Structure 1
Amino acid sequence: MGQYIQVNDKVKIYVEDIGEGTPVLFIHGWPLDHTMFEYQFMQLPRQGYRCIGIDLRGFGRSDSPWEGYSYNQLADDIRVVIDELKLDNVVLAGFSLGGAVAIRYMSRHEGQGIAKLLLMGAAAPSFIQRNNFPFGAPEEQIEKLMLATLADRPQMVTDFSKIFTDKGGSASFEDWLHQHAVGASAQGTLRALESLRDEDLRGDLASIRVPTAIFHGEKDQICSFELAKLTNRGIANSRLVVFEESGHAMLFDEPDKFSEELTGFLADHSVSRSTNASDLPTMIYPSV
Protein backbone atom coordinates (compact mmCIF):
# COMPACT_ATOMS: atom_id res chain seq x y z
CA MET A 1 0.00 0.00 0.00
CA GLY A 2 1.36 3.39 -0.94
CA GLN A 3 0.71 6.69 0.78
CA TYR A 4 2.03 10.21 1.04
CA ILE A 5 3.16 11.66 4.35
CA GLN A 6 3.59 15.40 4.71
CA VAL A 7 6.75 16.35 6.55
CA ASN A 8 7.36 19.49 8.55
CA ASP A 9 8.28 21.78 5.64
CA LYS A 10 5.16 20.84 3.65
CA VAL A 11 6.99 18.40 1.41
CA LYS A 12 5.14 15.15 0.77
CA ILE A 13 7.15 11.95 1.05
CA TYR A 14 5.99 8.78 -0.70
CA VAL A 15 6.00 5.63 1.41
CA GLU A 16 5.34 2.07 0.28
CA ASP A 17 4.11 -0.20 3.09
CA ILE A 18 3.67 -3.93 2.49
CA GLY A 19 3.21 -6.90 4.81
CA GLU A 20 2.80 -7.36 8.53
CA GLY A 21 5.18 -8.11 11.37
CA THR A 22 8.53 -6.64 12.34
CA PRO A 23 8.98 -3.44 10.32
CA VAL A 24 12.00 -3.11 8.03
CA LEU A 25 12.41 0.47 6.83
CA PHE A 26 14.43 0.72 3.60
CA ILE A 27 16.21 3.89 2.47
CA HIS A 28 17.43 3.83 -1.11
CA GLY A 29 20.63 5.08 -2.67
CA TRP A 30 21.40 7.90 -5.10
CA PRO A 31 19.80 8.45 -7.59
CA LEU A 32 17.24 5.65 -7.27
CA ASP A 33 14.08 5.17 -5.19
CA HIS A 34 12.44 2.53 -2.99
CA THR A 35 11.80 0.21 -5.95
CA MET A 36 15.46 -0.84 -5.91
CA PHE A 37 14.34 -3.15 -3.07
CA GLU A 38 11.49 -4.75 -5.01
CA TYR A 39 12.87 -8.27 -4.57
CA GLN A 40 13.02 -7.82 -0.80
CA PHE A 41 9.46 -6.50 -0.89
CA MET A 42 8.39 -9.72 -2.60
CA GLN A 43 10.32 -12.03 -0.25
CA LEU A 44 10.22 -10.61 3.27
CA PRO A 45 6.44 -10.28 3.75
CA ARG A 46 6.22 -14.05 3.20
CA GLN A 47 8.55 -14.45 6.19
CA GLY A 48 6.58 -12.25 8.55
CA TYR A 49 8.17 -8.85 7.96
CA ARG A 50 6.59 -5.52 7.17
CA CYS A 51 8.50 -3.79 4.38
CA ILE A 52 8.41 -0.01 4.33
CA GLY A 53 10.16 1.89 1.57
CA ILE A 54 10.70 5.65 1.60
CA ASP A 55 11.33 7.72 -1.51
CA LEU A 56 13.67 10.42 -0.27
CA ARG A 57 12.65 13.94 -1.26
CA GLY A 58 13.69 14.61 -4.83
CA PHE A 59 13.48 10.94 -5.79
CA GLY A 60 10.79 8.50 -6.89
CA ARG A 61 7.28 9.74 -6.20
CA SER A 62 8.19 12.17 -3.44
CA ASP A 63 8.07 15.94 -3.85
CA SER A 64 11.19 17.62 -5.19
CA PRO A 65 11.85 20.98 -3.56
CA TRP A 66 15.00 22.97 -4.33
CA GLU A 67 16.11 23.09 -0.69
CA GLY A 68 16.30 20.49 2.04
CA TYR A 69 18.77 17.79 0.99
CA SER A 70 21.09 17.95 3.97
CA TYR A 71 21.50 14.77 5.97
CA ASN A 72 19.76 16.51 8.87
CA GLN A 73 16.66 17.26 6.81
CA LEU A 74 16.55 13.82 5.23
CA ALA A 75 16.86 12.27 8.70
CA ASP A 76 14.09 14.53 9.96
CA ASP A 77 11.86 13.33 7.11
CA ILE A 78 12.43 9.75 8.25
CA ARG A 79 11.52 10.71 11.81
CA VAL A 80 8.20 12.13 10.62
CA VAL A 81 7.45 8.89 8.75
CA ILE A 82 8.31 6.78 11.79
CA ASP A 83 6.15 8.93 14.04
CA GLU A 84 3.25 9.10 11.59
CA LEU A 85 3.18 5.33 11.11
CA LYS A 86 3.73 4.80 14.86
CA LEU A 87 6.64 2.46 14.19
CA ASP A 88 8.69 0.78 16.89
CA ASN A 89 11.25 -2.02 17.02
CA VAL A 90 12.27 -1.10 13.47
CA VAL A 91 15.15 -2.50 11.45
CA LEU A 92 16.51 0.56 9.63
CA ALA A 93 18.18 -0.46 6.37
CA GLY A 94 20.03 2.13 4.29
CA PHE A 95 21.88 1.69 1.01
CA SER A 96 24.69 4.04 -0.10
CA LEU A 97 23.32 7.59 0.41
CA GLY A 98 20.50 5.94 2.37
CA GLY A 99 23.08 4.37 4.66
CA ALA A 100 24.59 7.77 5.35
CA VAL A 101 21.16 9.22 6.11
CA ALA A 102 20.40 6.26 8.39
CA ILE A 103 23.56 6.99 10.39
CA ARG A 104 22.58 10.64 10.76
CA TYR A 105 19.10 9.54 11.87
CA MET A 106 20.59 7.35 14.59
CA SER A 107 22.73 10.24 15.83
CA ARG A 108 20.33 13.15 15.43
CA HIS A 109 17.22 11.35 16.69
CA GLU A 110 18.98 9.09 19.17
CA GLY A 111 17.82 5.98 17.33
CA GLN A 112 14.16 6.64 18.10
CA GLY A 113 12.15 3.51 17.29
CA ILE A 114 15.12 1.58 15.89
CA ALA A 115 16.08 -1.89 17.16
CA LYS A 116 18.71 -2.75 14.52
CA LEU A 117 20.65 -0.95 11.83
CA LEU A 118 21.69 -2.35 8.45
CA LEU A 119 24.15 -0.40 6.31
CA MET A 120 24.59 -1.55 2.71
CA GLY A 121 27.39 -0.04 0.64
CA ALA A 122 27.03 3.01 2.87
CA ALA A 123 28.54 6.36 1.87
CA ALA A 124 30.10 6.64 5.31
CA PRO A 125 31.84 7.80 7.36
CA SER A 126 32.69 10.30 4.59
CA PHE A 127 32.04 9.84 0.91
CA ILE A 128 34.99 12.03 -0.10
CA GLN A 129 38.58 12.38 1.08
CA ARG A 130 39.21 15.04 3.74
CA ASN A 131 42.00 16.25 5.98
CA ASN A 132 43.28 13.22 7.93
CA PHE A 133 40.87 11.06 5.92
CA PRO A 134 42.41 9.67 2.70
CA PHE A 135 39.91 6.84 2.26
CA GLY A 136 36.96 8.27 0.30
CA ALA A 137 36.60 9.34 -3.31
CA PRO A 138 38.57 12.38 -4.49
CA GLU A 139 36.45 15.51 -4.33
CA GLU A 140 37.07 16.04 -8.04
CA GLN A 141 35.14 12.83 -8.74
CA ILE A 142 31.93 14.16 -7.28
CA GLU A 143 32.49 17.55 -8.92
CA LYS A 144 32.64 15.75 -12.28
CA LEU A 145 29.36 14.00 -11.47
CA MET A 146 27.78 17.34 -10.68
CA LEU A 147 29.00 18.89 -13.95
CA ALA A 148 27.78 15.84 -15.88
CA THR A 149 24.40 16.15 -14.18
CA LEU A 150 24.12 19.75 -15.38
CA ALA A 151 25.34 18.96 -18.89
CA ASP A 152 23.66 15.64 -19.77
CA ARG A 153 21.94 13.92 -16.84
CA PRO A 154 20.75 10.82 -18.78
CA GLN A 155 24.31 10.17 -20.01
CA MET A 156 25.66 10.72 -16.50
CA VAL A 157 23.25 8.06 -15.25
CA THR A 158 24.34 5.67 -18.00
CA ASP A 159 28.00 6.16 -17.12
CA PHE A 160 27.36 5.82 -13.39
CA SER A 161 25.38 2.61 -13.91
CA LYS A 162 28.45 0.96 -15.44
CA ILE A 163 30.15 0.87 -12.04
CA PHE A 164 27.02 0.30 -9.94
CA THR A 165 27.44 -3.46 -10.05
CA ASP A 166 30.49 -5.61 -10.69
CA LYS A 167 28.82 -8.33 -12.72
CA GLY A 168 26.43 -6.17 -14.68
CA GLY A 169 23.09 -7.57 -15.70
CA SER A 170 20.79 -8.22 -18.60
CA ALA A 171 19.95 -5.45 -21.05
CA SER A 172 16.50 -5.35 -19.49
CA PHE A 173 18.00 -4.89 -16.02
CA GLU A 174 20.20 -2.06 -17.25
CA ASP A 175 17.16 -0.40 -18.83
CA TRP A 176 15.22 -0.79 -15.57
CA LEU A 177 18.04 0.72 -13.55
CA HIS A 178 18.42 3.61 -15.97
CA GLN A 179 14.69 4.29 -16.00
CA HIS A 180 14.49 4.66 -12.23
CA ALA A 181 17.66 6.73 -11.96
CA VAL A 182 16.59 9.13 -14.71
CA GLY A 183 13.16 9.29 -13.06
CA ALA A 184 14.68 11.19 -10.14
CA SER A 185 14.27 14.94 -10.23
CA ALA A 186 17.17 16.96 -11.60
CA GLN A 187 17.30 19.10 -8.47
CA GLY A 188 17.24 16.11 -6.14
CA THR A 189 20.01 14.44 -8.12
CA LEU A 190 22.19 17.54 -7.96
CA ARG A 191 21.50 18.69 -4.40
CA ALA A 192 21.98 15.20 -2.94
CA LEU A 193 25.38 15.10 -4.64
CA GLU A 194 26.23 18.32 -2.82
CA SER A 195 25.35 16.66 0.46
CA LEU A 196 27.50 13.64 -0.36
CA ARG A 197 30.35 16.06 -0.98
CA ASP A 198 29.80 18.26 2.07
CA GLU A 199 28.61 15.94 4.85
CA ASP A 200 30.89 14.16 7.34
CA LEU A 201 29.61 11.36 9.60
CA ARG A 202 32.77 10.57 11.53
CA GLY A 203 31.38 12.23 14.61
CA ASP A 204 28.05 10.35 14.37
CA LEU A 205 29.26 6.75 14.54
CA ALA A 206 29.94 6.52 18.27
CA SER A 207 26.33 7.42 19.09
CA ILE A 208 24.97 4.23 17.49
CA ARG A 209 24.18 1.65 20.16
CA VAL A 210 21.92 -0.85 18.40
CA PRO A 211 23.13 -4.10 16.78
CA THR A 212 24.45 -3.14 13.37
CA ALA A 213 25.35 -5.11 10.26
CA ILE A 214 27.50 -3.59 7.53
CA PHE A 215 27.10 -5.22 4.11
CA HIS A 216 29.74 -4.15 1.61
CA GLY A 217 31.07 -5.34 -1.72
CA GLU A 218 34.81 -5.93 -1.79
CA LYS A 219 34.92 -4.66 -5.39
CA ASP A 220 32.91 -1.51 -4.73
CA GLN A 221 34.08 1.30 -7.05
CA ILE A 222 31.74 3.93 -5.60
CA CYS A 223 32.08 3.58 -1.83
CA SER A 224 35.37 1.79 -1.35
CA PHE A 225 35.63 -1.24 0.91
CA GLU A 226 37.94 0.70 3.21
CA LEU A 227 34.96 2.86 4.17
CA ALA A 228 33.12 -0.22 5.41
CA LYS A 229 36.08 -1.18 7.60
CA LEU A 230 36.21 2.30 9.09
CA THR A 231 32.47 2.34 9.73
CA ASN A 232 32.72 -1.08 11.36
CA ARG A 233 35.44 0.21 13.62
CA GLY A 234 33.49 3.32 14.56
CA ILE A 235 30.21 1.60 15.48
CA ALA A 236 30.23 -0.51 18.63
CA ASN A 237 28.29 -3.77 18.38
CA SER A 238 28.65 -3.86 14.59
CA ARG A 239 29.50 -6.73 12.27
CA LEU A 240 31.02 -6.42 8.80
CA VAL A 241 29.71 -8.83 6.16
CA VAL A 242 31.96 -8.99 3.11
CA PHE A 243 30.51 -9.64 -0.34
CA GLU A 244 33.63 -10.81 -2.12
CA GLU A 245 32.09 -10.99 -5.61
CA SER A 246 30.16 -7.72 -5.44
CA GLY A 247 30.59 -4.15 -6.50
CA HIS A 248 28.52 -1.36 -4.98
CA ALA A 249 25.16 -3.08 -5.30
CA MET A 250 25.67 -6.41 -3.57
CA LEU A 251 21.93 -7.11 -3.57
CA PHE A 252 22.13 -7.44 -7.38
CA ASP A 253 25.62 -8.94 -7.72
CA GLU A 254 25.12 -11.68 -5.12
CA PRO A 255 21.35 -11.89 -4.60
CA ASP A 256 21.31 -15.31 -2.95
CA LYS A 257 23.99 -14.43 -0.42
CA PHE A 258 22.34 -11.06 0.18
CA SER A 259 19.00 -12.69 0.89
CA GLU A 260 20.61 -15.22 3.24
CA GLU A 261 22.58 -12.60 5.15
CA LEU A 262 19.61 -10.24 5.33
CA THR A 263 17.17 -12.77 6.72
CA GLY A 264 19.83 -14.02 9.10
CA PHE A 265 20.43 -10.53 10.44
CA LEU A 266 16.73 -9.81 10.80
CA ALA A 267 16.25 -12.96 12.87
CA ASP A 268 19.51 -12.75 14.83
CA HIS A 269 19.40 -11.54 18.42
CA SER A 270 23.13 -11.82 19.06
CA VAL A 271 24.83 -9.53 16.54
CA SER A 272 28.38 -8.96 17.77
CA ARG A 273 31.14 -6.53 16.98
CA SER A 274 33.72 -7.51 14.37
CA THR A 275 37.39 -6.83 14.97
CA ASN A 276 38.63 -7.24 11.42
CA ALA A 277 39.29 -3.49 11.04
CA SER A 278 41.48 -3.15 14.13
CA ASP A 279 44.61 -2.34 12.15
CA LEU A 280 43.22 0.91 10.78
CA PRO A 281 44.55 4.27 12.03
CA THR A 282 42.74 6.12 14.80
CA MET A 283 43.54 9.64 13.61
CA ILE A 284 40.19 10.07 11.86
CA TYR A 285 38.21 10.05 15.11
CA PRO A 286 36.65 12.36 16.14
CA SER A 287 35.55 14.21 13.02
CA VAL A 288 37.15 17.65 12.99
Structure 2
Amino acid sequence: MPYFNTTDGTEIYYTDQGEGQPVLLSHGWPLSSDAWQVEIKLLADNGYRAIAHDRRGHGRSAKTYTGNDMDTYANDLAELIEHLDLTNLVVIGHSTGGGEVVRYSAQHGVGRVAKVITVGAVPPQMVKTDSNPGGFPIEVFDDIRAGVLKDASQFYKDLTEAFFGANRAGSTVSQGAKDEFWRQGMLVNLAAAYDCIKAFSETDFTEDLKALDVPIFLAHGDDDQIVPIDASAMKSAELVKHGTLKVYPGAPHGIYGGFQAELDQDILAFIAK
Protein backbone atom coordinates (compact mmCIF):
# COMPACT_ATOMS: atom_id res chain seq x y z
CA MET A 1 0.00 0.00 0.00
CA PRO A 2 1.48 3.39 -0.94
CA TYR A 3 2.20 5.94 1.76
CA PHE A 4 3.62 9.45 1.57
CA ASN A 5 5.22 11.50 4.34
CA THR A 6 4.41 15.20 4.51
CA THR A 7 7.07 17.74 5.49
CA ASP A 8 5.85 17.65 9.09
CA GLY A 9 6.34 13.88 9.15
CA THR A 10 2.69 12.84 8.87
CA GLU A 11 2.18 9.56 7.03
CA ILE A 12 -0.62 9.79 4.46
CA TYR A 13 -2.13 6.69 2.85
CA TYR A 14 -3.33 6.84 -0.74
CA THR A 15 -4.49 4.49 -3.46
CA ASP A 16 -3.45 4.97 -7.10
CA GLN A 17 -5.26 2.94 -9.76
CA GLY A 18 -5.44 3.07 -13.54
CA GLU A 19 -3.61 5.11 -16.16
CA GLY A 20 -4.39 8.31 -18.04
CA GLN A 21 -5.42 11.81 -17.00
CA PRO A 22 -5.23 11.97 -13.19
CA VAL A 23 -8.37 12.38 -11.09
CA LEU A 24 -7.95 12.85 -7.34
CA LEU A 25 -10.83 12.21 -4.95
CA SER A 26 -11.17 13.66 -1.44
CA HIS A 27 -13.56 12.07 1.08
CA GLY A 28 -15.97 13.49 3.63
CA TRP A 29 -15.93 13.38 7.43
CA PRO A 30 -15.39 10.95 9.19
CA LEU A 31 -14.69 8.62 6.29
CA SER A 32 -11.68 7.54 4.22
CA SER A 33 -10.72 6.93 0.61
CA ASP A 34 -12.80 3.74 0.80
CA ALA A 35 -15.86 5.95 0.36
CA TRP A 36 -14.78 6.37 -3.29
CA GLN A 37 -14.31 2.66 -4.13
CA VAL A 38 -16.98 2.64 -6.85
CA GLU A 39 -15.74 5.87 -8.44
CA ILE A 40 -12.10 4.77 -8.35
CA LYS A 41 -12.94 1.63 -10.34
CA LEU A 42 -15.25 3.55 -12.67
CA LEU A 43 -12.57 6.12 -13.46
CA ALA A 44 -9.84 3.51 -13.95
CA ASP A 45 -12.14 1.46 -16.18
CA ASN A 46 -12.75 4.55 -18.31
CA GLY A 47 -9.12 5.38 -18.95
CA TYR A 48 -8.27 7.65 -16.03
CA ARG A 49 -5.72 7.45 -13.25
CA ALA A 50 -7.73 7.53 -10.02
CA ILE A 51 -6.02 8.63 -6.82
CA ALA A 52 -7.67 8.88 -3.40
CA HIS A 53 -6.07 9.59 -0.04
CA ASP A 54 -7.02 9.16 3.59
CA ARG A 55 -6.96 12.63 5.18
CA ARG A 56 -4.58 12.93 8.14
CA GLY A 57 -6.17 11.38 11.21
CA HIS A 58 -8.57 9.33 9.06
CA GLY A 59 -8.51 5.82 7.66
CA ARG A 60 -5.02 4.35 7.33
CA SER A 61 -3.18 7.67 7.62
CA ALA A 62 -1.34 8.73 10.78
CA LYS A 63 -3.60 9.34 13.77
CA THR A 64 -2.71 12.99 14.18
CA TYR A 65 -3.34 15.18 17.20
CA THR A 66 -2.24 18.37 15.41
CA GLY A 67 -2.86 19.83 11.96
CA ASN A 68 -6.52 18.84 11.79
CA ASP A 69 -7.55 22.06 10.05
CA MET A 70 -8.44 23.01 6.50
CA ASP A 71 -5.21 24.84 5.68
CA THR A 72 -3.14 21.81 6.70
CA TYR A 73 -5.45 19.43 4.84
CA ALA A 74 -5.00 21.48 1.66
CA ASN A 75 -1.25 21.65 2.21
CA ASP A 76 -1.07 17.86 2.68
CA LEU A 77 -2.92 17.48 -0.59
CA ALA A 78 -0.55 19.90 -2.32
CA GLU A 79 2.46 17.94 -1.11
CA LEU A 80 0.98 14.63 -2.26
CA ILE A 81 0.13 16.06 -5.69
CA GLU A 82 3.61 17.54 -6.03
CA HIS A 83 5.14 14.23 -4.94
CA LEU A 84 3.20 12.44 -7.69
CA ASP A 85 3.80 15.38 -10.08
CA LEU A 86 0.18 15.44 -11.23
CA THR A 87 -0.81 17.91 -13.94
CA ASN A 88 -3.97 18.41 -16.00
CA LEU A 89 -5.58 17.22 -12.79
CA VAL A 90 -9.27 16.86 -12.00
CA VAL A 91 -10.07 17.09 -8.28
CA ILE A 92 -13.30 15.75 -6.79
CA GLY A 93 -14.42 16.36 -3.23
CA HIS A 94 -17.45 15.23 -1.23
CA SER A 95 -18.65 17.21 1.79
CA THR A 96 -15.54 18.17 3.81
CA GLY A 97 -13.49 16.94 0.87
CA GLY A 98 -15.26 19.50 -1.29
CA GLY A 99 -13.88 22.23 0.91
CA GLU A 100 -10.45 20.64 0.83
CA VAL A 101 -10.24 20.52 -2.97
CA VAL A 102 -11.61 24.05 -3.34
CA ARG A 103 -9.00 25.45 -0.95
CA TYR A 104 -6.24 23.36 -2.54
CA SER A 105 -7.19 24.44 -6.05
CA ALA A 106 -7.41 28.12 -5.17
CA GLN A 107 -4.29 28.36 -3.04
CA HIS A 108 -1.97 25.66 -4.40
CA GLY A 109 -3.35 24.23 -7.63
CA VAL A 110 -2.75 26.92 -10.25
CA GLY A 111 -1.01 25.28 -13.19
CA ARG A 112 -1.93 21.78 -12.02
CA VAL A 113 -5.73 21.71 -11.66
CA ALA A 114 -7.81 21.63 -14.84
CA LYS A 115 -11.27 21.04 -13.35
CA VAL A 116 -12.98 20.85 -9.96
CA ILE A 117 -16.00 18.75 -8.98
CA THR A 118 -17.76 19.06 -5.63
CA VAL A 119 -20.55 16.87 -4.27
CA GLY A 120 -22.63 17.92 -1.26
CA ALA A 121 -19.74 20.22 -0.41
CA VAL A 122 -19.43 22.48 2.64
CA PRO A 123 -18.39 25.76 0.91
CA PRO A 124 -18.85 28.61 1.18
CA GLN A 125 -19.39 28.24 4.97
CA MET A 126 -21.60 26.15 7.21
CA VAL A 127 -21.71 28.03 10.51
CA LYS A 128 -23.95 31.05 11.02
CA THR A 129 -22.05 34.33 11.26
CA ASP A 130 -22.83 38.00 10.69
CA SER A 131 -21.66 37.60 7.10
CA ASN A 132 -23.36 34.20 6.73
CA PRO A 133 -26.78 34.59 8.39
CA GLY A 134 -28.19 31.52 6.63
CA GLY A 135 -25.76 29.10 8.25
CA PHE A 136 -26.31 26.68 11.13
CA PRO A 137 -25.99 28.08 14.67
CA ILE A 138 -22.71 27.11 16.35
CA GLU A 139 -24.75 25.02 18.82
CA VAL A 140 -25.42 22.51 16.02
CA PHE A 141 -21.71 21.81 15.74
CA ASP A 142 -21.24 21.87 19.50
CA ASP A 143 -23.81 19.07 19.65
CA ILE A 144 -21.83 17.08 17.05
CA ARG A 145 -18.67 17.52 19.13
CA ALA A 146 -20.51 16.40 22.26
CA GLY A 147 -21.88 13.34 20.47
CA VAL A 148 -18.46 12.29 19.21
CA LEU A 149 -16.92 12.71 22.64
CA LYS A 150 -19.69 10.86 24.46
CA ASP A 151 -20.01 7.80 22.20
CA ALA A 152 -18.49 8.10 18.74
CA SER A 153 -19.56 4.62 17.70
CA GLN A 154 -23.23 5.21 18.40
CA PHE A 155 -23.05 8.75 17.03
CA TYR A 156 -21.78 7.49 13.67
CA LYS A 157 -24.50 4.84 13.56
CA ASP A 158 -27.17 7.44 14.26
CA LEU A 159 -25.68 9.84 11.71
CA THR A 160 -26.20 7.36 8.88
CA GLU A 161 -29.95 7.94 9.06
CA ALA A 162 -29.76 11.56 7.90
CA PHE A 163 -26.59 11.02 5.87
CA PHE A 164 -28.26 8.52 3.53
CA GLY A 165 -31.81 9.84 3.92
CA ALA A 166 -32.75 6.57 5.62
CA ASN A 167 -35.23 8.57 7.69
CA ARG A 168 -37.23 9.43 4.56
CA ALA A 169 -40.20 7.42 3.31
CA GLY A 170 -39.23 5.12 0.46
CA SER A 171 -35.52 5.01 1.32
CA THR A 172 -33.77 1.97 -0.14
CA VAL A 173 -30.37 2.40 1.50
CA SER A 174 -29.00 -0.92 2.69
CA GLN A 175 -27.88 -1.86 6.17
CA GLY A 176 -24.55 -2.73 4.58
CA ALA A 177 -24.03 0.84 3.36
CA LYS A 178 -24.78 2.18 6.82
CA ASP A 179 -22.45 -0.38 8.39
CA GLU A 180 -19.69 0.63 5.99
CA PHE A 181 -20.07 4.29 7.01
CA TRP A 182 -19.70 3.20 10.65
CA ARG A 183 -16.66 1.05 9.83
CA GLN A 184 -14.85 3.92 8.15
CA GLY A 185 -15.84 6.34 10.88
CA MET A 186 -14.34 4.12 13.56
CA LEU A 187 -10.92 4.37 11.89
CA VAL A 188 -10.58 8.10 12.57
CA ASN A 189 -8.90 8.97 15.85
CA LEU A 190 -10.90 11.05 18.29
CA ALA A 191 -8.76 14.19 18.25
CA ALA A 192 -8.84 14.34 14.45
CA ALA A 193 -12.59 13.69 14.31
CA TYR A 194 -13.24 16.37 16.93
CA ASP A 195 -11.03 19.04 15.35
CA CYS A 196 -12.32 18.36 11.85
CA ILE A 197 -15.80 19.47 12.96
CA LYS A 198 -14.43 23.01 13.36
CA ALA A 199 -12.58 22.70 10.04
CA PHE A 200 -15.64 21.75 8.01
CA SER A 201 -18.09 24.05 9.77
CA GLU A 202 -16.21 27.27 10.45
CA THR A 203 -13.82 27.59 7.51
CA ASP A 204 -14.88 30.36 5.13
CA PHE A 205 -14.22 29.37 1.52
CA THR A 206 -15.71 32.50 -0.06
CA GLU A 207 -12.43 33.92 -1.34
CA ASP A 208 -11.27 30.49 -2.52
CA LEU A 209 -14.41 30.11 -4.63
CA LYS A 210 -13.95 33.57 -6.11
CA ALA A 211 -10.31 32.80 -6.94
CA LEU A 212 -11.03 29.62 -8.90
CA ASP A 213 -10.36 30.18 -12.58
CA VAL A 214 -11.13 26.67 -13.87
CA PRO A 215 -14.46 24.96 -14.60
CA ILE A 216 -16.22 23.65 -11.51
CA PHE A 217 -19.17 21.24 -11.40
CA LEU A 218 -21.28 21.68 -8.27
CA ALA A 219 -23.41 18.58 -7.59
CA HIS A 220 -25.88 18.61 -4.71
CA GLY A 221 -29.00 16.77 -3.61
CA ASP A 222 -31.97 18.94 -2.74
CA ASP A 223 -32.80 16.70 0.25
CA ASP A 224 -29.30 16.92 1.75
CA GLN A 225 -29.92 17.01 5.51
CA ILE A 226 -26.23 17.32 6.42
CA VAL A 227 -25.18 20.20 4.15
CA PRO A 228 -28.43 21.85 3.02
CA ILE A 229 -28.22 23.04 -0.57
CA ASP A 230 -29.51 26.59 -0.08
CA ALA A 231 -26.63 27.53 2.22
CA SER A 232 -23.96 25.73 0.19
CA ALA A 233 -24.08 24.88 -3.51
CA MET A 234 -26.60 27.59 -4.34
CA LYS A 235 -24.34 30.23 -2.82
CA SER A 236 -21.17 28.71 -4.26
CA ALA A 237 -22.65 28.83 -7.75
CA GLU A 238 -22.99 32.60 -7.39
CA LEU A 239 -19.35 33.03 -6.35
CA VAL A 240 -17.45 30.99 -8.95
CA LYS A 241 -16.54 32.23 -12.43
CA HIS A 242 -17.01 29.03 -14.42
CA GLY A 243 -19.55 27.03 -12.47
CA THR A 244 -22.12 24.44 -13.48
CA LEU A 245 -24.68 23.60 -10.81
CA LYS A 246 -26.72 20.41 -10.95
CA VAL A 247 -29.42 19.73 -8.40
CA TYR A 248 -30.41 16.08 -7.86
CA PRO A 249 -34.08 15.94 -6.82
CA GLY A 250 -34.65 13.98 -3.61
CA ALA A 251 -30.98 13.05 -3.25
CA PRO A 252 -29.44 12.90 0.24
CA HIS A 253 -25.93 13.79 1.38
CA GLY A 254 -24.55 10.27 1.02
CA ILE A 255 -23.54 9.08 -2.44
CA TYR A 256 -25.63 5.95 -2.95
CA GLY A 257 -28.14 4.23 -5.21
CA GLY A 258 -29.75 6.14 -8.06
CA PHE A 259 -28.02 9.36 -6.98
CA GLN A 260 -24.63 7.66 -7.25
CA ALA A 261 -25.39 6.12 -10.64
CA GLU A 262 -26.47 9.46 -12.12
CA LEU A 263 -23.68 11.41 -10.46
CA ASP A 264 -21.00 9.02 -11.71
CA GLN A 265 -22.12 9.43 -15.31
CA ASP A 266 -22.19 13.21 -14.84
CA ILE A 267 -18.64 13.10 -13.48
CA LEU A 268 -17.41 11.20 -16.54
CA ALA A 269 -19.22 13.60 -18.87
CA PHE A 270 -17.83 16.70 -17.14
CA ILE A 271 -14.27 15.41 -17.20
CA ALA A 272 -14.55 14.50 -20.88
CA LYS A 273 -15.78 17.96 -21.96
TM-score (norm 2): 0.94
Give the match for residue 185 of structure 2.
181
Q: Shift of the alpha carbon at 1:197?
A: 3.3
Q: Shift of the alpha carbon at 1:110?
A: 4.6
- Structure 2: state its 5+ residue gaps: 166-170
Tell me if structure 2 keeps the 8 A contact 1:22–1:89: yes
CA-based RMSD: 1.3
Give the match for residue 168 of structure 2.
none
Q: Shift of the alpha carbon at 1:39?
A: 0.6
Paired residues, what number? 267
Q: Shift of the alpha carbon at 1:43?
A: 1.5
Tell me if structure 2 keeps the 8 A contact 1:41–1:51: yes
SS at match of 2:163: coil
Give the match for residue 150 of structure 1.
149
Amino acid at match of 1:74: Y
Matches of 1:126 and 1:261, distance apart in 2? 25
Describe the shift of the 1:99–1:152 C-alpha distance in structure 2 as closer, same or farther (beyond 3 A): same
Give the match for residue 273 of structure 1.
none
SS at match of 1:246: coil
Give the match for residue 128 of structure 1.
127
Matches of 1:132 and 1:88, distance apart in 2? 36
Per-residue CA shift, 1:35-70, capped at 9, x if unaligned? 101111222211101110010001010002111012
Give the match for residue 44 of structure 1.
43
For 1:193-232, what aligned pairs fall within 5 Å after superposition?
193-226=197-230, 227-232=232-237
TM-score (norm 1): 0.89
Q: Shift of the alpha carbon at 1:77?
A: 0.3
Matches of 2:225 and 2:133, distance apart in 1? 15
SS at match of 1:162: helix
Give the match for residue 96 of structure 2.
97
Amino acid at match of 1:179: R
Give the match for residue 267 of structure 1.
272
Q: Shift of the alpha carbon at 1:217?
A: 0.6
Describe the shift of the 1:19–1:148 C-alpha distance in structure 2 as closer, same or farther (beyond 3 A): same
For 1:1-288, what aligned pairs fall within 5 Å after superposition?
2-166=1-165, 167=171, 169-226=173-230, 227-252=232-257, 254-268=259-273
Tell me if structure 2 keeps the 8 A contact 1:247–1:253: no
Matches of 2:40 and 2:76, distance apart in 1? 22
Per-residue CA shift, 1:155-201, capped at 9, x if unaligned? 11112111111235111221112111122111111110121233111
Matches of 1:124 and 1:251, distance apart in 2? 21
Tell me if structure 1 keeps the 8 A contact 2:99–2:122: yes
Q: Shift of the alpha carbon at 1:251?
A: 4.5
Matches of 2:40 and 2:250, distance apart in 1? 24
Matches of 1:181 and 1:112, distance apart in 2? 34
Q: Shift of the alpha carbon at 1:112?
A: 4.3
Describe the shift of the 1:251–1:264 C-alpha distance in structure 2 as closer, same or farther (beyond 3 A): farther
Matches of 2:132 and 2:44, distance apart in 1? 41
Amino acid at match of 1:81: L
